[in-house]
Amino acid sequence: MSIPLLGEKFPEIEVLTTHGRLKLPDEYKGKWFVLFSHPADFTPVCTTEFVAFQKRYDEFKKLNCELIGLSIDQVFAHIKWVEWIKKELDVEIQFPVIADDTGKVAEKLGLIHPAKGTNTVRAVFIVDADSNIRAVIYYPQELGRNMDEILRAVKALQISDANGVAMPANWPNNELVGDAVIIPPATSEKEAKERLEKARTGEISCYDWWFCYKPVE
């Protein structure tokens, strides 16, 4: 079975979660969502990740983006773990967590990598409001994720869509263009000349006709 690829629709799956049964991606129709898998409940790195995601949940929601976790634990384990996090760490996990004790969802999404064991790896799927998969990131079990990077990716993809631009490395702190965005390269000689003319008048900035950038609108 092939795993979902960038640009494809997120597969239709009915899942059991800590918030009841949900149908994906229909549950988040018109919204972005981040589905992330973790190796197991009641483990230290995963606990730090859940707390980190929850601390940024409001920031994700401001971007019209929801969160949903997943592991191959049973739902009662998720519930008890979420209760433990609330009691011991004073953090209430407000997003749902998928219970995939049969492993069917993990198999469909390519979350179990046999060379890394039988638990789900730390995968991240960023899905847009049209249910298209926009980014997929895999981390090994021993490496906790950077949630600020995932939040940055969602924001950057939304700006890219809204403005028809590309986003530079480390945006919004790029070493060459700062918080500016990249204008797609010219596709004709005429357009290339027009780009350079716009650069001369200060309408945009360019290192060359194929490397132009501008502030976020």
C-alpha 123/C-alpha 121 separation (Å) is: 6
Q: What sign does the CA torsion over 5, 23, 50, 156 have? A: positive
Centre a 10 Å sphere on the Cβ of residue 33 and count the other Cβ atoms it contains.
23
Q: Which of 46, 65, 206, 212 is catalytic?
A: 46
| Annotation marks residue 65 as catalytic | no
Element (H, E) at 193: helix 189-200
What is the rounded CA–CA span in Å between residue 214 and residue 29? 32
The torsion angles phi and psi of 205, rounded to 5 degrees, stand at -120, 145
* Residues catalogued as catalytic: 46
